[in-house]
């Protein structure tokens, strides 16, 4: 069992690890994609439907997360597993840029496949890392600690996003630009992997990383976990109905350059970073699940704001701020803390991995549906008052309806172990 001093040391190291991971994510888009990675796929020729597949890559990788962990069952600790998987997915990300040199008509599909491999390793880090951190951060500290940690990583994300966008524009948004971008990210991915080796781990429960045979017992015995899983599956499905098309609209229709996209990303990140500790304190005081419900009721109106978006920065900057406050800070932090409260005391890695798999399967479905919804409207154009019509707006309206339904469902849910 770890001493309080060892736990404290591990928590400090985790902050620095989070900083390195943040820079990696900003330069590569490895954590769920970003506008720069979307721009890379658009540059190599991805079609609108291929972009819906791009949006589905990250959740699809999470769907297969339990199988990756099961295949890694000979790894004797969560720490070792995190180090191995992180080493596969993060320092090597620069190789994705090399597929821009492929002359085949399948280069988009090949690049998507490689991106999927990287995301498969990256996503599989999630469950063992969350289980590891649940041992290092006691329940009464979670809101304050993760709020402060996320504030720190958010502040680091601001200059990282701006520098990445500036670098792309400076180098001409072509092969060398994307190669340099992903290479810088890969260097920080290597640093991130190294920092995992400096954290302590509680090894009281040695054995395989995951046993899929525990899942029926977990689902049968843990009512709160089961109910939360169903609710967040609906939340994930409704959220992903937008696909990647908000970013695509900014690049394809609003014609924003990468420096401007970086500015928008920074505004969302900075707003999220500043509000993380506030959400954390309110979550500790009033309950993470209660605060999550509040964020979920606000989320549909972000889709509506995208549906009627104007290309003016005076419109887009406030929208990005609200996205950072509500989605990144509110839903992200409160959802994570609520999840840690409902997972059973036995089979933590299994429960977290299964949660990621199911909720991301819903996200895959949502991304594919968004692409299908888009197809009938591909040639829509014109003007409606001050708005230029484009097919992406119709997708955002569908997402608005789905998010309202999800918020209504979750608001009616009562869990025994969380408020």
Low-confidence ranges of the chain (pLDDT < 70): 68-76, 203-215, 217, 221, 386, 416-419
Q: What is the C-alpha to C-alpha distance for residues 224 and 109, in angstroms, rounded to an integer?
A: 40
Tokens of 331: 């839903």
Question: What is the SS3 string spanning 215-248?
Answer: HHHHHHHCHHHHHHHHHHHHHHHHHHHHCCHHHH
Cβ neighbours of residue 311 closer than 8 Å, sequence gap 6 or more:
253, 254, 255, 256
Domain membership of residue 285 (yes or no) is: yes
Give domain status of residue 147, yes or no.
yes
> What pLDDT was estimated at residue 234?
95
Q: What sign does the CA torsion over 380, 384, 386, 387 have? A: negative
The number of angstroms, rounded, from the C-alpha of 390 to the middle of its chain's C-alpha atoms is: 27
With respect to residue 418, please indicate whether it lies within any of the assigned structural domains.
Answer: no
Buried b (16+ CB within 10 A) or exposed e, 251-287: bbbbebebebbbbbbbbbbbbbbbbbbebbebbbeeb
416 burial (CB, 10 Å; 0-12 / 13-18 / 19+) is: exposed
Residue with tokens 């409260």: 341
Per-residue pLDDT tens for 332-381? 889 988 888 888 877 777 788 788 888 989 988 998 899 899 888 888 87
Nearest to 20 by CA among 174, 170, 197, 166: 197
State residue 129's pLDDT score. 86
Q: 389 has which bridge partners?
A: 382
CATH at 129: 1.20.1250.20
* 193, 222, 419 from 62: Cα distances, Å: 20, 22, 27
Residue 240 within any structural domain of the chain? yes
Q: What is the pLDDT of residues 174-221, one digit of tens each?
A: 889 999 999 999 999 999 999 999 988 876 554 444 566 666 767 776
Quick check: is 416 in a domain?
A: no
Residue 265 is predicted with a pLDDT of: 82
Q: Which structural domain range is residue 21 located in?
A: 4-411
pLDDT at 214 (0 to 100)? 67
Examine residue 171 and state whether it is found in any structural domain, yes or no.
yes
pLDDT at residue 353, as a whole number: 78
For the chain, how many structural domains are there in total?
1
- Computed over every residue of the chain, the mean pLDDT equals 85
First to last CA, the chain: 29
On whether residue 401 sits in a domain, the answer given is yes
Q: Which helix (H) or strand (E) holds 64?
A: none
Q: What is the pLDDT of residue 307?
A: 94
Q: What integer pLDDT is reported at residue 208 of this predicted model? A: 43
Dihedral angle of Cα 285, 269, 311, 313, to the nearest 10 degrees: 90
**Rounded to the nearest 5°, which phi and psi values hold at 222?**
-100, 90
- Residue 207 in any domain: the answer is yes
């Amino acid at each position: 069992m770890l001493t309080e001093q060892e736990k404290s040391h591990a928590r400090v190291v985790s902050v620095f690890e989070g900083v390195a991971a943040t820079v990696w994510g900003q330069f590569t888009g490895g954590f769920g994609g970003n506008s720069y990675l979307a721009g890379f796929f658009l540059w190599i020729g991805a079609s609108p439907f291929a972009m819906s597949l791009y949006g589905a890559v990250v959740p699809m990788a999470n769907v297969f997360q339990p199988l990756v962990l099961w295949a890694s069952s000979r790894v004797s600790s969560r720490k070792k597993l995190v180090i191995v998987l992180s080493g596969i997915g993060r320092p090597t990300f620069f190789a994705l840029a090399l597929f821009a040199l492929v002359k085949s008509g399948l280069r988009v599909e090949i690049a998507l496949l490689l991106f999927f491999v990287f995301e498969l390793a990256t996503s599989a880090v999630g469950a063992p890392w969350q289980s590891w951190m649940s041992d290092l951060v006691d329940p009464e500290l979670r809101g304050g600690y993760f709020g402060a940690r996320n504030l720190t990583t958010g502040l680091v994300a601001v200059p990282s996003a701006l520098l990445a966008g500036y670098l792309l524009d400076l180098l001409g948004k072509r092969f060398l630009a994307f190669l340099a971008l992903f290479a810088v990210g890969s260097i920080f991915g290597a640093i991130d992997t190294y920092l995992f080796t400096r954290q302590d781990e509680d090894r009281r429960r040695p054995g395989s990383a995951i046993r899929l045979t525990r899942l029926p017992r977990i689902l049968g015995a843990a009512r709160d976990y089961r109910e939360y899983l169903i609710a967040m599956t609906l939340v994930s499905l409704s959220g992903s109905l937008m696909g990647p098309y908000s970013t695509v609209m900014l690049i394809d229709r609003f014609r924003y350059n990468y420096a401007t996209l970086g500015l928008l990303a920074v505004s969302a990140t900075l707003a999220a970073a500043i509000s993380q500790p506030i959400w954390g304190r309110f979550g500790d005081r009033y309950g993470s699940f209660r605060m999550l419900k509040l964020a979920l009721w606000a989320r549909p109106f972000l889709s509506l704001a995208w549906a009627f978006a104007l290309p003016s920065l005076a419109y887009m900057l406030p929208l990005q701020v609200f996205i950072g406050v509500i989605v990144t800070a509110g839903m992200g932090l409160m959802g994570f803390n609520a999840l840690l409260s409902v997972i059973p005391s036995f089979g933590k890695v299994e429960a977290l991995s299964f949660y990621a798999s199911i909720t991301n399967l819903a996200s895959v479905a949502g991304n594919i549906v968004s692409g299908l919804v888009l197809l009938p409207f591909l040639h829509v154009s014109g003007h409606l008052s001050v708005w230029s019509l484009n097919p992406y707006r119709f997708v955002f309206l569908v997402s608005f309806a789905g998010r309202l339904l999800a918020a209504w469902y979750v608001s009616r849910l009562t869990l025994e172990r969380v408020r």
